[in-house]
Amino acid sequence: MDTIRTIDMMLIDDLFDMGGGYVLNFTDRTFAQFFASELGVNIDDPRYAQGGNSKAKRLRYFLQNVDKPTAIRTLDALWQYREALRARTKEPEKLEDAGRKLRSLINRLEGRPDNTPPTPPASPAFDKAKIAQIKGNLLSITSLEPHARGYAFEKFLRDLFDAYGLAPQDPFRLRGEQIDGSFQFGNETYLVEAKWHGKPIGVGELHVFHGKIEQKAAWTRSLFVSNSGFTEEGLAAFGRGKRVICMDGYDLYEMLNREISLDEVLTRKVRGAAETGAPFLRVRDLFPN
């Protein structure tokens, strides 16, 4: 397979705003955090500073000296961070053209024709018996006492994420704030808020959760699951371009009843949020047939 050429590095410089030694809006600290979290790499290692110590020079040296799968994962992670950053700042740009150029570079590095879409990650096998049991657990929650439903709903989600190999973690607390858990999807970690309420979630609770996410790293992603759904007024007031995607109880039921994989649901919700800025796109709209 080809290596990253000088002309490729010119494109990378433009895509990630690497003029003057910078990379996007990273500080030295957040640049190191990004590489540690997303790639498990210590970018401050002196071996990556052989071409210079600025963030841009370290990134250039890193991309041109690591193995190709690592270079591709790095470009993909930086692109996702870049899209999230520009969505927050609402900076206008021809993302489609920029994305096409980056995909073309990644295709060449992977040795595939320019017009071949990247190979999607393999989905885990669909275990009908296990999914049927999980569906039954969801339906049984309604018969529980009110105080027990929230805990049962969290356990249901943990079992669901585990069934699809998404490495769920139990709820944890940071300085008094509760996060209902997390899971791994692709190369990303998603924080989860799970609510089983009698009424749909409004803008207040959406903003509270988003406030928690804002205190995390800039590339943090999140999923808000509300069995009772979300109010239209709350979603409108919450706005677009947030780092939150949403699911409701009907999404969960549709997904399980129609045997749609959770991986595919998350993929379409994330892509829809990236394309429209809307945090909540219903499964029945994403999968109309």
**49-64 exposure pattern, b = at least 16 Cβ within 10 A, e = fewer:** eeeeebbbbbbbbbbe
Residues 6+ apart with CB under 8 A from 285: none
pLDDT of residue 220: 80
pTM beyond 0.75: the answer is: no
Tell me the three-class secondary structure of the chain, residue by residue. CCCCCHHHHHHHHHHCCCHHHCCCCCCHHHHHHHHHHHHCCCCCCHHHHCCCCCHHHHHHHHHHHCCHHHHHHHHHHHHHHHHHHHHHHCCCCCHHHHHHHHHHHHHHHCCCCCCCCCCCCCCCCCCHHHHHHHHHHHHHHHHCCHHHHHHHHHHHHHHHHHHCCCCCECCEEECCEEECCEEEECCEEEEEEEECCCCCECHHHHHHHHHHHHCCCCCCEEEEEECCCECHHHHHHHCCCCCEEEEEHHHHHHHHHCCCCHHHHHHHHHHHHHHHCCCCCCHHHHCCC
Q: Which two tokens stand for residue 120?
A: 């999607």
Looking at the chain, the whole-number percentage of residues with pLDDT higher than 90 is 29
Question: Which residue is listed with tokens 């990247």?
Answer: 118
Contact by Cβ (8 Å): 81, 14 = no
How is domain 128-286 classified at the architecture level of CATH? Answer: 3-Layer(aba) Sandwich (3.40)
pLDDT at 260 over 60: yes
**What is the structure's pLDDT at 114?**
58
Give the residue extent of every domain in the chain: 6-109, 128-286
Query: Pairing state of beta strands 172-174 and 188-195?
Result: unpaired
Mean pLDDT on 32-45: 87
Considering the chain, what is the average pLDDT of its residues?
83
pLDDT digit string, tens, across residues 124-172? 445 677 888 888 889 898 888 888 888 888 889 988 998 888 888 877 5
According to DSSP, the residues that pair with 221 across neighbouring strands are 190
Asked whether 183 and 169 are in contact (CB, 8 A), the reply is yes
Report pLDDT for 174. 46
Q: What is the pLDDT of residue 122?
A: 43
Give me the residue label for tokens 């699809």. Answer: 164
- pLDDT tens-digit profile of 192-245? 998 888 889 999 999 999 888 888 777 788 999 999 999 999 999 998 878 899
